[in-house]
Amino acid sequence: MNRRKMLSLLGMSPALLAGSRAEADKAKKTAAAAGPGKIEALNPRGTPPPIQLVPMAKRLPSLDGKTIYLVSDGFPGADHFLDQVANWFKKNMPSVTTVYRLKAGAFADDDPKLNAEIKAKGNAVIMAIGH
């Protein structure tokens, strides 16, 4: 360890490196009499807000005859993925109607117009969220 740094951590002046042995002993006694220093630090993360738990949505007993909205947040490749999901429903569950929509804004942004449409006309949502 660097001697200068070590002395400053102990509360002694690095100038003692150039001084006499008597001055160094005197500085050690003074530092020892003062006791250990108090270091105060702040948490850089701050205080996070409390977590609000949101319950999961109720599950549908069946998808037969239901409308499922396939919503993309615009991440590259999400539209292709949702197209494959729609194809799967057409092949395996033809009674299910799928509706593709592109969400306005970024992932965390609210899209009230789309949410109102889904509540009015849809029964379920599959959302493709990019990473």
pLDDT digits over 45-84, tens only?
Answer: 777 789 999 998 889 999 999 999 999 998 898 999 999 9
Distance CA 34, CA 69 (A): 70
Query: Cβ(102)–Cβ(90) under 8 Å?
Result: no
Of 97, 58, 81, the residue nearest 129 (C-alpha)? 81
Residue ranges of the domains in the chain? Answer: 3-34, 67-128
Confidence at residue 39, expressed as pLDDT on a 0 to 100 scale: 79
Contact indicator for 98, 85 with CB cutoff of 8 Å: yes
For 69, the 3-state DSSP assignment is strand
Residue 23, pLDDT score? 66
Number of residues that this document lists for the chain = 131
pLDDT value of position 98? 97
- Under 8 Å between Cβ of 11 and 37: yes
* pLDDT band at residue 33 using 50, 70 and 90 as cut-offs: low
Beta bridge partners of 128: 72
For the cut 90, the answer to whether the pLDDT of residue 116 exceeds it is yes
